[in-house]
Amino acid sequence: MFQVTRELRFCYGHRLLNYNGKCRFLHGHNGRALITLAASNLDELGMVVDFSEIKRVIGGWIDSHLDHRMLLHKDDPLLAYLQAQGEPVFVMDVNPTAENIARLIYKIAAGQGLPVVEVRLWETEDACAVCDSGS
């Protein structure tokens, strides 16, 4: 089995609903998503998937949907106000935790036909969440 991992960096803001810590307030992160793909056999170029293809497909999606946006739960009372002000938001059905952002990126990668096996989202220098095929 071969694996490749591509790191994609992006900035996002969020806050957590029904959470009794400082993450209930609006704040931002310099996030790092590590996308790991796997294959039993390499392609004719000797690759699992070209690193630049991972950046083009997943990085492109992140740039247009998550980067420099406020990620908010669909029930967040601030959502309507921020949208009315023209602020860029990304609406999630679940709390925008690192775990759920990792799962979101995993599903996007899988939906694009990439052989993703893990997405690791580093929310800070010290903390990351992992979504894999068993999640």
- Interacting residues with Zn ion (CB under 5 A): 23
Closest residue to Zn ion: CB criterion = 23
Among the options 23, 65, 87, 99, which is catalytic? 23
Taking the complex as a whole, the smallest distance from the CB of residue 98 to Zn ion amounts, in Å, to: 8
How far apart CA 43 and CA 57 sit, in angstroms, is: 18
User: Which is closer to Zn ion, CB of 50 or CB of 75?
Assistant: 75
Beta bridge partners of 31: 10
Matching residue, tokens 């310099």: 30
Among the options 29, 73, 118, 123, which is catalytic? 123
Q: Is 29 annotated in the active site? A: no
Phi, psi values for residue 99, rounded to 5°: -60, -45
- Name which of 5, 32, 42 is nearest 125 in CA terms: 32
Q: Is 23 annotated in the active site? A: yes
Q: Is 11 annotated in the active site? A: no
Active site residues: 23, 68, 123
